[in-house]
Amino acid sequence: MSVTVRFAPSPTGLLHVGNARIALLNRLFADSLGGRFILRLDNTDAERSREEYISAIKRDLSWLGVGWEHTVRQSDRRPSYHTAMARLQAAGRVYPCYETTEELEEQRLFQRGQKQPRLYDRAALKLSKPDHVRLETKGHRPYWRFRLDPYDVQWEDLVRGSCCYHGIHLCDPVLRRADGSYLYMLPSVVDDIDFTITHVIRGEDHLTNTAIQIQIFHALGARPPHFAHLPLMRDVSGQGFSKRLGSLSLDALRWQGIEPMALASLLVTMGTIRPICLHSAWGELSAAFHLRHYSHGTPRFDESELWRMNARLLHAVPFAAVNDKLTALGLPKVTEGFWNAVRANLDRLETAGTWWQICTSTIVPKIIDAPLCILAAGLLPDEPWDKTTWSVWISALKTKTGRTGQSLIRPLRLALTGQDSGPELSVLLPIIGRTRALVRLLQGRCTPATAASGVDSVGQ
């Protein structure tokens, strides 16, 4: 069987990490079976769908590494939905209803008060032809519901196992509004049929939808695809993710400096029987993926864990794999030696640019011990410098001052880098070079502290 999956976001906001996980697992499932991935844009909601969100969805998926073989816009497929609707009307599987929004809300409130299931009472099925004429003459335009059969709907879910919904406990869904626009149910089924979707991998919030859509598949004479419903991801506090609430978006994570493979590694591993594992390449993700690894437990997304994985990835990535990204950040002259010097201290790639500026540009040093810095300037070895220069220089300073540890190192680090922590000075010093080091160390020679204490106080 040729495998085809789809990811179907509505372009009403930015993709968040929960959306990204579903897209990623669909792509990996298709890759594991040599199948294809369709990006379906569910943009039937004309009021809320935006072209800028369509562009953002494509940009975010591409950044994450999720490609697609075909794109579908539901707004372009209305003729297919009209055809399917006509078939259902001819078969007597849909029926017109005339209740207003207020009347339906009153019905729901009554059912809630009586602790009854929230089911449509099918009052519209009792209307006679004269009733239809009378209502439409008064200007009431019908909306259309799908008439569910009372039989049990069963399927073997690829994640949850055997699933069963009793037809009599399901509410007849609205397929088409009074203005002629379609809701989610029918377009989704028609697209899955027309594009031969073989597997639908989505969140468990669609379980009831699946039971209903299976009946729509059957009513249209089509075989339903295989289904896999994954537990919805939540944050560490137990809150879900939502475009409407502005939850963690891929766009925000990208701008903050998250590497796509760090995010992909975390999303793929979450909710599985395996421990959190960092992967450095897409092929590793594909090789480790299988739906049977996913449990019924709720996965918890920990942003701090994501940043730890981001740092681990950068600490291990070789210069060849990151050189183009550094160039894109405006750092075309970065050397492999510099990258190897700073990568162990990075939590995001952009920080490498900060250290490149520190090493190669003019900075404002922090002088907390001017006498020591002036003495250190006088003991700087001649160039050329290499990784042994630092130890030679520090040995001379220890002998001259009698200092060791942070009382000696911290003032030098602040003077040379302006930072209280960072990469080893032994690897930074050759990149900074003698001229810059000398200028920075001598910044404090005319400070009031120098004038008051004198250079000779360094050794006291």
- Please, are residues 232 and 204 in contact by the beta-carbon 8 Å criterion? yes
Angle between helices 370-378 and 406-417 (to 10 degrees): 80
Count of all residues that appear for the chain in the document = 460
Structure confidence at residue 180 (pLDDT): 94
* Whether residues 207 and 58 fall in one domain: yes
How many structural domains is the chain composed of? 3
What is residue 275's three-state secondary structure?
coil
* Whether residues 424 and 370 fall in one domain: yes
Residue 207 lies in a domain: yes
| Last residue in a domain, options 305, 336, 359 | 359
Q: What is the mean pLDDT of the chain?
A: 91
- The one-letter code for the residue type at 83 is T
% the chain with pLDDT above 70: 95
- The pLDDT-based confidence of 449 (bands split at 50, 70, 90) is very low
| Rounded Cα gap, residues 287 and 284, in angstroms | 5
Residue 61 lies in a domain: yes
pLDDT of 44 above 70:
yes
* Whether residues 394 and 298 fall in one domain: no
Structure confidence at residue 410 (pLDDT): 95
- Per-residue pLDDT reduced to its tens digit, 145-171: 999 999 999 999 999 999 999 988 999
Chain centre to alpha carbon of residue 242: 12
Structure confidence at residue 210 (pLDDT): 98
| Last residue in a domain, options 288, 316, 344 | 316
Structure confidence at residue 450 (pLDDT): 44
What is residue 44's three-state secondary structure?
coil
Q: Per the structure block, which two tokens stand in for 146?
A: 């799908």
* Whether residues 398 and 354 fall in one domain: no
* Whether residues 63 and 193 fall in one domain: yes
* Whether residues 251 and 227 fall in one domain: yes
Residue 405 lies in a domain: yes
For residue 16, the cross-strand partners are 249
- Per-residue pLDDT reduced to its tens digit, 265-298: 999 999 888 888 899 888 888 888 889 899 888 9
How many helices (H) and strands (E) the chain has is answered by 19, 12
Average pLDDT rounded to a whole number, residues 327-348? 90
CATH number of the domain where residue 21 is located: 3.40.50.620
Q: Per the structure block, which two tokens stand in for 209?
A: 């939808």
- Per-residue pLDDT reduced to its tens digit, 311-323: 999 999 999 999 9
Left (φ > 0), alpha (ψ -120 to 50) or beta: where does 65 sit? Answer: left
Residue 129 lies in a domain: no
Q: Pick from 192-201, 240-249, 330-339, 398-407 the range whose average pLDDT is largest.
A: 192-201
* Whether residues 207 and 350 fall in one domain: no
pTM confidence score: 0.87
> Which domain range does residue 379 map to?
362-459
Residue 101 lies in a domain: no
- Please, are residues 85 and 176 in contact by the beta-carbon 8 Å criterion? yes
pLDDT of 460 above 70:
no
Q: Provide, for the chain, the percentages of residues in helix, strand and coil under a 3-state DSSP scheme, each rounded to the nearest 5.
A: 50, 10, 35
Structure confidence at residue 448 (pLDDT): 47
Structure confidence at residue 245 (pLDDT): 64
- Per-residue pLDDT reduced to its tens digit, 359-381: 999 998 999 999 999 999 999 99
* Whether residues 192 and 312 fall in one domain: yes
Average pLDDT rounded to a whole number, residues 77-101? 96
CATH number of the domain where residue 394 is located: 1.10.10.350
Nearest in space to 397 (alpha carbons), one of 408, 385, 413, 384: 408
Residue 33 lies in a domain: yes
Q: What is the 3-state secondary structure (H, E, C) of 195-225?
A: CCCCEEEEEHHHHHHHHHHHHHHHHCCCCCC
| Rounded Cα gap, residues 452 and 197, in angstroms | 81
Per the model's pLDDT, the better-predicted residue between 123 and 273 turns out to be 123
% the chain with pLDDT above 90: 77
What is residue 323's three-state secondary structure?
helix
- Per-residue pLDDT reduced to its tens digit, 164-218: 999 889 999 999 999 999 999 999 999 999 999 999 999 999 999 999 999 999 9
Q: Per the structure block, which two tokens stand in for 400?
A: 């001259």
Residue 79 lies in a domain: no
Nearest in space to 306 (alpha carbons), one of 267, 279, 275: 267
- The pLDDT-based confidence of 333 (bands split at 50, 70, 90) is confident
Strand 161-166 relative to strand 70-73: parallel, antiparallel, unpaired? unpaired
| Rounded Cα gap, residues 20 and 254, in angstroms | 13
* Whether residues 403 and 305 fall in one domain: no
At 37, give phi and psi (nearest 5°): -125, 125
Left (φ > 0), alpha (ψ -120 to 50) or beta: where does 392 sit? Answer: alpha
Average pLDDT rounded to a whole number, residues 134-138? 91
Structure confidence at residue 113 (pLDDT): 84
Residue 165 lies in a domain: no
* Whether residues 284 and 392 fall in one domain: no
Structure confidence at residue 287 (pLDDT): 85
* Whether residues 63 and 205 fall in one domain: yes
pLDDT of 456 above 50:
no
Q: Per the structure block, which two tokens stand in for 181?
A: 């626009």
Chain centre to alpha carbon of residue 339: 27
Instruction: Give burial (CB, 10 Å; 0-12/13-18/19+) of 30.
Output: buried
Average pLDDT rounded to a whole number, residues 30-47? 93
Q: Per the structure block, which two tokens stand in for 42?
A: 């569910």
Q: Pick from 46-60, 267-281, 445-459 the range whose average pLDDT is largest.
A: 46-60
Strand 199-203 relative to strand 226-230: parallel, antiparallel, unpaired? parallel
Cis peptide before 130 (omega within 30 of 0): no
* Whether residues 196 and 311 fall in one domain: yes
pLDDT of 246 above 80:
no
- Per-residue pLDDT reduced to its tens digit, 393-437: 999 999 999 999 999 999 999 999 999 999 999 999 999 999 999
Average pLDDT rounded to a whole number, residues 88-103? 94
Question: Got the DSSP string for 79-133?
Answer: HHHHHHHHHHHHTT-EEEE---HHHHHHHHHHHHHTT-------GGGG--HHHHH
